[in-house]
Amino acid sequence: MGSKSQTSTMDPMQESYIEDIIRPGADKIADMEFEQFTGDRVAGLTQLQKDALGGYGALSLPSELAEASGVYRGIANRTPQERMAMLGNIQDQMAPMLNRQFAQQGVGTEAQAIKANAFGDRRDVYEGERQAALDARAYDLASRQLGAEDQSAMRSASALAASGLQGLQSTRDILGAQMAAGETERALTQADLDAAYNDYLAEMQFPLTQFGVLSGGAQAFPAGIGTTTTRDPMGTFGMGLQALGGLGMGGMGPFAAFAGSGITKNPFGVG
């Protein structure tokens, strides 16, 4: 067999494709500089949301809570002297009523007897007993009335505090609704900003995408195109000479089998 040799030369069509199409694209990518995105990425708060945030910032405990707290504090911190003074005022207000009640219950008759000195020397005792009974009755009624007034004041304070808290919650609900409504508007603006950023990314990516497509097109050329294979005709002739040369090796070589016929060397050899 003869030896083979291969010589590879790029096919003119393939060379033209690389030089005229792929290489310019590669040069363009190599020369590209980083281009920063200059647009907005996050949509700001709408005016409605800004107003709502301002409302949140202005929130404070309702004044009703302070008023209610003052009522409870006044009752809790009341001194014995203040309580007795309040009871005294109530007793003074109730005195006419108590006198009428005592008169209706017969105490008035005893009083008249005392006034007429019907009890003699025991007049002072009966007067003292009557006054003590009157004072005890007045104190008991005054204590009950003061307790009822305190209970009524605390119920009113509780209702006042609940009303204040309800008003605060209503305000928070309104501000929350404003924030939600403003978010709908802000989301639309954000969608526009996202679309602009995606366009920027597509523009930056386009040369690379295009180059990838063009590079893939180079795979369409068949493998081995432009490769030339040649066979060396002298290779076979050289092998024949080598075989013939073996005849001159003292009967060794390809003609050793003909030793019986007297042919033991190359007849074409010298000597």
pLDDT in tens, 35-68: 888 889 999 999 999 999 999 999 998 999 999 9
Q: Quote the tokens at residue 40.
A: 């907005």
Mean pLDDT of 257-261: 50
Identify the pLDDT of residue 42: 93
Which DSSP string corresponds to 90-137? HHHHHHHHHHHHHHHTTHHHHHHHHHTTTTGGGHHHHHHHHHHHHHHH
- For residue 212, give every residue at least 6 positions away whose Cβ sits within 8 Å of its Cβ, in sequence order, or none: none
Mean pLDDT across 219-248: 54
In this structure, are residues 62 and 165 in contact, taking their beta carbons and an 8 Å threshold? yes
Q: What is the pLDDT averaged over residues 125-134?
A: 68
**pLDDT value of position 71:** 93
Percent of the chain with pLDDT over 70: 63
The candidate with the shortest Cα–Cα distance to 87, out of 131, 126, 144, is: 144
Average pLDDT over residues 240-252: 49
- What band does 32 get if pLDDT is binned at 50, 70 and 90? confident
Cβ-contact 240, 24 below 8 angstroms: no
Helices then strands, each counted (H, E), the chain: 8, 2
- Alpha-carbon 192 to chain mean position: 21
- Tell me which residue of 234, 242, 226 sits closest to 3, measured CA to CA: 234
Q: How confident is the model at residue 219 (pLDDT cuts 50, 70, 90)?
A: low
Is the pLDDT at 192 greater than 90? The verdict is: yes
CA distance linking residue 84 with residue 76, whole number of Å: 15
Sort 136 into a burial class: Cβ within 10 Å, 0-12 / 13-18 / 19+: exposed
> Quick check: 191 pLDDT over 60?
yes
Q: Hey, which residues does 4 pair with through a beta bridge?
A: 231
- Residue 250 confidence (pLDDT): 47
Q: When comparing pLDDT for 177 and 126, which is higher?
A: 177
- Counted residue by residue, the chain has a size of 271
pLDDT of residue 35: 83
Angle, alpha carbons 91-94-96 (nearest 5°) = 125
Q: For residue 214, what pLDDT band results from cuts at 50, 70 and 90?
A: confident
- Confidence (pLDDT) at 258: 46
- 73-88 per-position pLDDT tens digit: 999 999 989 999 998 8
Which pLDDT score, from 0 to 100, does residue 209 have? 81
CA distance 53 to 47: 10
The partner residues of 110 in beta bridges, in order of sequence, read: none
Q: With CA atoms as reference, report the closest residue to 225 among 67, 8, 1, 54.
A: 8
| pLDDT for 158 | 94
